[in-house]
Structure 1
């Protein structure tokens, strides 16, 4: 009922092919029913069905393995052979569309997807264009989504092949139709269910007194009506999981119980498996099983899976934990963790190691130390450094207890790396020295190579480039000797960055570092290589090169669940967006970083600076708290580039606020750390010292645009900044000139950027010159836009509300499609709208002048 338009849209997408359909709605709203109706309405189409696992720690890529069983061929062979995930992704893509018949792939319950499955959807979404394939992903959107799912949905929604279809609950009229002749009052049913089709239909099927208030109550009310043997089979099926093999359930249930369960209609056939008609019913039943009976059922399931030769370690670990079988957990959970890590599902890997450690109390101390180290490494990849430090300290204590000097040295080096990520530079240096004191007397080892690489990285962070190169080369020698390619990649990376800091050739070393990391599947080192490739390009003012590398690196880190480096790269992206005048996008990126729980201090640092400085330039409130945090973090961290960025941001904020002495002190506090930084960073310090009236100077080479500003060549500097794509810096160069004509040019730049505070400063400079014409500034009505949008964003939103595509908006406003993309991203961020349609609805409700067919006037 009330699904005609959605059904037509679904059929259209399948007929066109080359589409990824995101089918969303609350639990029980009828997503599965719509899929079944679509299948009935279509002709010669091959359907393949899969679902994400609802276990607490899902098995990575469960949907892919489900599809392999149905599609067979090379994909199934590679799955059975334990191939790498990239091979599996490509094998699936090759299999789809290979029969001459259009393919429809259904992935249900993506809200339970592991990171590897989300990466699979990203992979397919980017490659569907023109293929006779439609991928339909159903998502429950009435629960709080995890960060990984939100990020993935944002990425998928941005793909041109993506179509979003959302199902709303039924109207009161529809519920009234359904309840006719049932004996239930339609108004009561609608009040209790809010029109949720599952709640409505389950409620109408429930018998006995009382009205269940939720799906849990409905499910349990129906379960109670089953006879004891059928109820036992139901509980067993619920604890087995989302997909229940008929052979397994038969081995665990009596014939009468199985017959009673199958006639209840709580489960339906799905190929060679059974599944609950509604997953929420399975969860309700599973949660209601008493603990003593749950324990026994999990033990029986585990024994049956072993008897049937099951090799799914994640599944076995789940039932082992439910059965309280420590030996089985220690056997299966670590294997599941390592497979998850190999597949780039690091959240699942960390959860499996955590599960293992809960049952490892009686294990040997060296085994517990190894598990704690693996757990710490996974947590570090996920930007959960505080937890990683706890796990690493436990490992260190265990290594010391058993007298394992080699393990102790490696544990100290691991703690040093974690401390550096927590912005505790002194602790990192102390632990590195302790690691070397333990490891060097033991002779050449891989552990010593890793400690040398750790020391080299710390020297690099402190801008001691010569020492960084020296220690990196020592690490390289040992890494090559022991074929430790992860250490080799890190050492090459540090050596390249050190060479760049000294103005030497660095690209060959850095490219080799990335190649070694990718070839060896060292995902953290690959993330670091992308970060430094982008960072060095950015430091040399090559913003276009940096942005290309950042997008490539972010895609890699998102696909491989490397949260720590993905956050770091997004911070750098926010910097590039700010420098190149795309402030709304920079703010949206910064907010995304700061809104993610558990982000490390180093991950927050760049976002804080960008957000603070843009707010200050716009004359908005709330910039001092973020700049205070940025400065405190940078001082605690002790890394010169971060100190320079935080101090210069505060200098600019004070300068804009009319506090010249405070601005000068902040600029002078950046001089000492800036001395060892790049020519661009030294140039920025030199310019702010001059701008704030300081007598201090900066020694060493300055990047050319800054040198021209120091030399008083305002127009030359502005031209260079414009060529680099940095409008705000161009405006500042013109403002520094003190010439009336150039000040007017600067004012126009600041106004276009929305830098109201800087524009006001420019107006004051014009008044001091006695200029005949001084701009009056933006009108109060412009500043007080009800949604906080700029004029151009208002225009874009008006066309967006009319349903125009980006290409149509670009044509009507005479701007590029890429510029429209930027404006749409900024609008969605400001309105906190998940999609274009929602933004259009907000516009019509919240902005005077937006109607059903509004058009901006030019």
Structure 2
């Protein structure tokens, strides 16, 4: 059937392939709903490329997938040794693809975690190859790993997108008229979905069936009984079907398989058989009588075993469906271990879930499940699995493992912002473990409680617990625990005014040297965060770029998310609000359904910037942040959430409400450092609270509390914090200071703060008060400043940041900042999208 309304998409693919051949490398994301014609498009694109090397792989959604399944499928074809470790395998894949012109990976929405990581890896490095990745874009949850990966890929310069829409009514009419079908009725039934249209037109009956599934089943009904039974088994095997496996499972002769291809339900090529579309497979599978399903799965499992299959993921699926608990347990555990070895933690967790369904009384399985769930931020599941394991270990009289389960459940409560329960479990774990003497479990428990004490601002206790953990961990060679506790001790030292940086650097070095990626991620996050806490942005900048590259490269997503949240806060302090908001959106998308604690910082940053700009969406974010902060009980989060609310109330003129929030922040800051206490003290002063400042404050805050507003402003400006400087000048009250503050607020687009400054000027009797944001910015349809518009124009011309810097006589770093701000204001992820919007 003719491929209609796809000329533009085909032309784009051809152009991207030419660009790739020129050495650039391209990743093309082809998205659309099920049945919209993604495969048909890519097949049309690859036809006629006999002189080029095209490699085709696919993901299968029938069962929990085998990690890196698409890569294993093409390994022989590209000469790849798959027995090496994951990092070496990724590098080897990149080298092997240098001789491939076109790489196609279909149905990426079914990809396992390791395959998604591989796509990320290739997306940053491909040269000379065009990688075409198809996926369904309907039904992807905001926090789905693929959606997050697509967002990351979208920021790469070599990424392109093609979105396929359903066929128009005229196109459906053209297809309908070929077969004498009522075009209006066909369009009404299909909505222009090419697969549905094709199935209904191909059915060849006088009337139009009620659905495409009916059309598929009508064609299946014409098969001989033997071939129909083979078709049913094929539907249980998956979208792609190995003819040897199908023959072994059914005893079907070759002519029965030929009949399936002749029917048009399956297609065949050099790699085997496949259903023409997943929707066709589903139609056949869902029509199977339930009493036949288990026996068919058992036959497939037996055939896989006879053929010597090494695909434990597939065998675990068929074993469970066949109600063979012993086989399901055996293969699920093997599949889980293999997935974990490839860092495909979602698939590992799914397989351990399957193993637990087969045998729910083995606490070792529950321990493994809890760990894998912790790696994917699924903390409610961690708490449940750890509790079940604790009960079983206690019944078995194994105190060490009971204590470890308590520690794991405590970690879950921390991430779920249930601070009291977290502390109770952490202390209970130590109570169970200490009588049993030193061991790795006790070291872990000390290390975990040390972190909780540190986060509760009980720094002396934290440092003591960290050192006790180190004393146990070092002789055992537990470098992961050594790094973790050095990290905690470093933070505790800083909070007590002691030297901290060498200890944190050592924590990072130990983690990297011994390959403990997660601990390295934590060390990087705290190193960057503590530098930013002290507003040492110049030192922090290279740390961030090094840290985020490490976390992304090593798939340390939890700390990559934390780093981005910390970065958003730092950008906000430096007045780079648009960049901060872009990062906030990325982080909140990543953790939409995961750890509440990881959402607090981006919620706070997002809300305060919006409050300053007098935009919507402030209170929903602040309410969530405050609820999570109160739940976790950690002073740093309580202070941030409450001062965010205080500022929002103050900007809205609700001073008494702002004062109440500032005093709640003060209640939580008794043991905090000078930066946090100083922040609280200034807001107590701004809101008219009679509470005194506590202890020694960081210099800019101390100057402001002492009434030296000009000195405070200069200190903030020296640190690179324009909004804080403007707030300090606002406190001075004289007309020059107020006008200076008003100008800064205007440049930042802080409409609510502008309103406050203008009122202060009126109260001071000033005349000729500016009306609002600068005219040029206000007049620009996207809210761009004059300089940002200049940068956008040059981006649209195709200039690099270095070329733009030369043209405008700016530093490349300044241009980087302008480009990030432009992308944020335009709401786009790439320069190409910005250029199109500019046009």
Same-fold call, TM cutoff 0.5: yes
What is the CA–CA distance in structure 2 between the aligned matches of 1:647 and 1:300, rounded to whole Å? 62
What is the CA–CA distance in structure 1 between the aligned matches of 2:786 and 2:298, rounded to whole Å? 60
Asked whether 1:762 is paired with 2:757, we answer: yes
Asked whether 1:251 is paired with 2:248, we answer: yes
What is the CA–CA distance in structure 2 between the aligned matches of 1:11 and 1:684, rounded to whole Å? 57
User: In structure 2, what is the equivalent of residue 24 of structure 1?
Assistant: 31
Closer, same or farther in 2 for the Cα pair 1:310/1:757, shift >3 Å?
same
User: In structure 2, what is the equivalent of residue 344 of structure 1?
Assistant: 343
User: In structure 2, what is the equivalent of residue 641 of structure 1?
Assistant: 636
What is the CA–CA distance in structure 2 between the aligned matches of 1:587 and 1:642, rounded to whole Å? 19
Q: 1:120, CA displacement in angstroms?
A: 0.9
Aligned-partner SS, 2:179: coil
Closer, same or farther in 2 for the Cα pair 1:611/1:6, shift >3 Å?
closer
Moved more, 757-766 or 520-529: 520-529
User: In structure 2, what is the equivalent of residue 59 of structure 1?
Assistant: 66
Q: 1:645, CA displacement in angstroms?
A: 1.3
What is the CA–CA distance in structure 2 between the aligned matches of 1:771 and 1:405, rounded to whole Å? 74
- Please list the CA deviations of residues 369-412 of structure 1 after superposition, one character each: whole Å capped at 9, or x if unmatched: 12112222222232222221111111111111222212111112
Asked whether 1:13 is paired with 2:7, we answer: no
User: In structure 1, what is the equivalent of residue 464 of structure 2?
Assistant: 470
User: In structure 2, what is the equivalent of residue 136 of structure 1?
Assistant: 132
Q: 1:208, CA displacement in angstroms?
A: 3.3
Moved more, 329-338 or 535-544: 535-544
Closer, same or farther in 2 for the Cα pair 1:272/1:761, shift >3 Å?
closer
Asked whether 1:679 is paired with 2:674, we answer: yes
- Please list every run of 5 or more consecutive structure 2 residues that lacks an aligned counterpart in the other structure: none
Q: 1:799, CA displacement in angstroms?
A: 7.1
What is the CA–CA distance in structure 2 between the aligned matches of 1:563 and 1:291, rounded to whole Å? 41
- Asked if the contact 2:217/2:283 (under 8 Å) is kept, the reply is yes
- Asked if the contact 1:530/1:549 (under 8 Å) is kept, the reply is yes
- Asked if the contact 1:593/1:599 (under 8 Å) is kept, the reply is no
Closer, same or farther in 2 for the Cα pair 1:821/1:213, shift >3 Å?
farther
Asked whether 1:84 is paired with 2:77, we answer: no
Q: Counterparts of 1:370-409 in structure 2 under 5 Å? A: 370-409=364-403
Moved more, 426-435 or 815-824: 815-824
- Asked if the contact 1:547/1:576 (under 8 Å) is kept, the reply is no
What is the CA–CA distance in structure 2 between the aligned matches of 1:4 and 1:666, rounded to whole Å? 59
Q: 1:597, CA displacement in angstroms?
A: 4.2
- Asked if the contact 2:155/2:830 (under 8 Å) is kept, the reply is no
What is the CA–CA distance in structure 2 between the aligned matches of 1:611 and 1:770, rounded to whole Å? 35
Aligned-partner SS, 2:693: coil
Q: Counterparts of 1:448-467 in structure 2 under 5 Å? A: 448-467=442-461
- Asked if the contact 1:796/1:820 (under 8 Å) is kept, the reply is no
Q: 1:438, CA displacement in angstroms?
A: 1.5
What is the CA–CA distance in structure 2 between the aligned matches of 1:556 and 1:216, rounded to whole Å? 48
Q: 1:297, CA displacement in angstroms?
A: 1.6
Q: 1:139, CA displacement in angstroms?
A: 1.8
- Please list the CA deviations of residues 714-759 of structure 1 after superposition, one character each: whole Å capped at 9, or x if unmatched: 4443344334332211211221222212211110111122212211
Q: 1:315, CA displacement in angstroms?
A: 1.6
Aligned length: 823
Q: Counterparts of 1:589-604 in structure 2 under 5 Å? A: 589-594=583-588, 596-604=591-599
- Asked if the contact 1:346/1:562 (under 8 Å) is kept, the reply is no
Moved more, 531-540 or 171-180: 171-180
Q: 1:798, CA displacement in angstroms?
A: 13
- Asked if the contact 1:53/1:59 (under 8 Å) is kept, the reply is no
- Asked if the contact 2:823/2:831 (under 8 Å) is kept, the reply is no
Q: Counterparts of 1:591-740 in structure 2 under 5 Å? A: 591-594=585-588, 596-621=591-616, 623-740=618-735
Q: 1:448, CA displacement in angstroms?
A: 0.8
Moved more, 660-669 or 633-642: 660-669
Aligned-partner SS, 2:668: helix
Aligned-partner SS, 1:139: strand
What is the CA–CA distance in structure 2 between the aligned matches of 1:800 and 1:292, rounded to whole Å? 66
Q: 1:292, CA displacement in angstroms?
A: 2.2
What is the CA–CA distance in structure 1 between the aligned matches of 2:614 and 2:672, rounded to whole Å? 30
What is the CA–CA distance in structure 1 between the aligned matches of 2:742 and 2:647, rounded to whole Å? 17
Q: Output the aligned Cα RMSD.
A: 3.3
Q: 1:106, CA displacement in angstroms?
A: 0.8
Select which of 434, 440, 446 maps to 2:440: 446
Asked whether 1:103 is paired with 2:101, we answer: yes
Q: 1:15, CA displacement in angstroms?
A: 2.3
What is the CA–CA distance in structure 2 between the aligned matches of 1:563 and 1:115, rounded to whole Å? 12
What is the CA–CA distance in structure 2 between the aligned matches of 1:212 and 1:2, rounded to whole Å? 25
- Asked if the contact 2:454/2:491 (under 8 Å) is kept, the reply is yes
What is the CA–CA distance in structure 2 between the aligned matches of 1:797 and 1:175, rounded to whole Å? 45
User: In structure 2, what is the equivalent of residue 360 of structure 1?
Assistant: 359
Aligned-partner SS, 2:130: strand
What is the CA–CA distance in structure 1 between the aligned matches of 2:61 and 2:337, rounded to whole Å? 20
Closer, same or farther in 2 for the Cα pair 1:470/1:620, shift >3 Å?
same
Aligned-partner SS, 2:47: helix
Closer, same or farther in 2 for the Cα pair 1:250/1:155, shift >3 Å?
same
Select which of 163, 166, 178 maps to 1:166: 163
Aligned-partner SS, 1:482: coil
- Please list every run of 5 or more consecutive structure 1 residues that lacks an aligned counterpart in the other structure: 844-853
Closer, same or farther in 2 for the Cα pair 1:182/1:577, shift >3 Å?
same
- Asked if the contact 2:729/2:740 (under 8 Å) is kept, the reply is yes
Aligned-partner SS, 2:161: strand
- Please list the CA deviations of residues 529-577 of structure 1 after superposition, one character each: whole Å capped at 9, or x if unmatched: 2321222122121345546555655565566665544443333233223
What is the CA–CA distance in structure 2 between the aligned matches of 1:469 and 1:310, rounded to whole Å? 52
Q: Counterparts of 1:222-621 in structure 2 under 5 Å? A: 222-253=219-250, 254-255=252-253, 256-361=255-360, 365=361, 368-518=362-512, 520-543=514-537, 545-546=539-540, 549-550=543-544, 553=547, 564-594=558-588, 596-621=591-616
- Asked if the contact 2:792/2:819 (under 8 Å) is kept, the reply is no
Q: 1:329, CA displacement in angstroms?
A: 1.5
Select which of 773, 783, 795 maps to 1:790: 783
Q: 1:160, CA displacement in angstroms?
A: 0.4
